[in-house]
Amino acid sequence: MTSRTAFAIPAFRRLWAAGLISDTGDWLLFIALPLVVFQLTGSALGTSIAFLVELVPAVVVAPLAARLIGRFDRRWIMVAVNIGQALALLPLLWVNEVADLPLAYAVIFVHASLSTLFEPAKNTLLPDLVDTEQLVSANALIGLNQNLGRLIGGPLGGVLLAVGDLGLIVAADAITYIVSAVLIATLPAVKTAAHDAGSADAPVDAARPDTAGARPVGLVEALRIPRLRGAFAVILVSSVAQGMFLVLFVLFALGPLRGSDAGVGLLRGIQAVGAVLAGVVLGFIARGSSPRALTAASLFAFGVLSLVTWNLPTVTTEIWPYVLLFAAVGAPGVIMIAGLMSVLQEQSEPRQRGAVFAAVGLVSAVGQALGILPGALSDGAIGLLPLLEAQGCLYLLSGVIALLWLPRAADRPTPKAAGAKDAVSRTP
């Protein structure tokens, strides 16, 4: 009997460990580099530019990512990305004054561009390492290591910057990427039985879409796949809500909540607690979860918790209820992503997955950008509270879309030539 937890598969454990180490490195840089930019400029504008530069590649590089992941071995794409991320850190050793900031912005852009390749490649490879019934567990565990990387890498980045300098961050970060590359390079080849007319009996490497005899689809084609439109709609609407949160949360915490900078940091950080707990439960304990049901339920929970939080200052501004609420809201975030990724993996053929997951990054970035814009209206006639309530309602709308439009597991497409997995051999 196949274990329901993906952690029982040695190859997945290696991918999971590589992701944890790589995510820790990402958070080292994510925390330290904006601090360095702010120290050099003393300007919030300079720091904002750093964040904006990070968003651009998700839109610009997505079409290229779709093609590369569809045509080349995903494992070696991930190895190349990790090595590229390590090498791209080197220019930071020459960032010492304001005049050097273009180097820092270039590093941010290159790293974000490489991440645009890494994440879709990982999500595309995942279904080749685990069975279909283990996808929810696998995606939940991936969400778990992303939050563990945040908990480890965020504080560690601040500590290393405090006791050393940017050079220490560069060295530590480069080591995480090299170790991740080594782990990914040891992943086994995943053999499937090819069912194309040209080589019906020839086993092919599932990490190599081009060997399966089917042409990989492009980004636009992926967005047009009928059975995935509901998932893309959910991602777009929920990303708009997330973009609104990025701007409005700070205004809420410092305004109606009358909190401090430390309180803002506490509330953002405490979300990881709920996320880690949800990742553990869904990754190791939960059995037979429906990706569609998980996605819809988590979005409804997200919306309800958001609306309760935004309206609670009329009752109390004591910090502890908000700590509990923000800890709780981390859980549906992990569950939603695990459910959505599982839907996309189940409902797409191998030749489509590279473009599908590149499209996920594109749609998410566009949605967040659209969500950031209404934040400027909070000082006007609309006001902060109506925008906050609209943000919560967008999550409820996403839940309705998920419930009505996401395909059920039974509607899974029949694998075609490149997608057949009737005979699978997983080498430990």
**219-409, superfamily in CATH?**
MFS general substrate transporter like domains (1.20.1250.20)
Using 50, 70 and 90 to split pLDDT, how confident is the model at 421? very low
- Do the first three CATH levels of 6-215 and 219-409 match, i.e. the same topology? yes
Which residues lie closer than 8 Å to 13 by C-beta, 6 or more apart?
A: 7
Q: Give residue 177's pLDDT.
A: 95
pLDDT digits (tens, 9 = 90+) for 75-110: 999 999 999 999 999 999 998 888 888 898 899 899
Q: Give residue 212's pLDDT.
A: 44
Distance, in Å, from the CA atom of 128 to the CA atom of 134, rounded to the nearest integer, reads 11
Distance, in Å, from the CA atom of 50 to the CA atom of 30, rounded to the nearest integer, reads 10
Q: Give residue 191's pLDDT.
A: 45
pTM of the entire predicted model: 0.82
β-strands 424-426, 190-193 pairing: antiparallel
Distance, in Å, from the CA atom of 37 to the CA atom of 45, rounded to the nearest integer, reads 10
| In contact, 157 and 340? CB cutoff 8 Å | no
CA 239 to chain centre: 12
Which residues lie closer than 8 Å to 8 by C-beta, 6 or more apart?
A: none
Reported for 374-378, long-range contacts at CB under 8 A and 24+ positions apart, including other chains, are 374/244, 374/247, 375/244, 375/246, 375/247, 375/248, 375/251, 378/247, 378/248, 378/251
Which two structure tokens, joined as six digits, stand for 145? 């290591």
| In contact, 132 and 52? CB cutoff 8 Å | no
pLDDT digits (tens, 9 = 90+) for 391-404: 999 999 999 999 99
Residue reference for tokens 């990914």: 184
Using 50, 70 and 90 to split pLDDT, how confident is the model at 206? very low
Which residues lie closer than 8 Å to 372 by C-beta, 6 or more apart?
A: 243, 244, 246, 247
Residue reference for tokens 């081009």: 210
CATH number for 6-215 (one of 3.40.50.740, 1.20.1250.20, 3.10.20.600, 3.40.50.2030): it is 1.20.1250.20
Read off the pLDDT of each residue in 279-285 and give the average, rounded to a whole number. 90
Sequence ranges of the domains in the chain: 6-215, 219-409
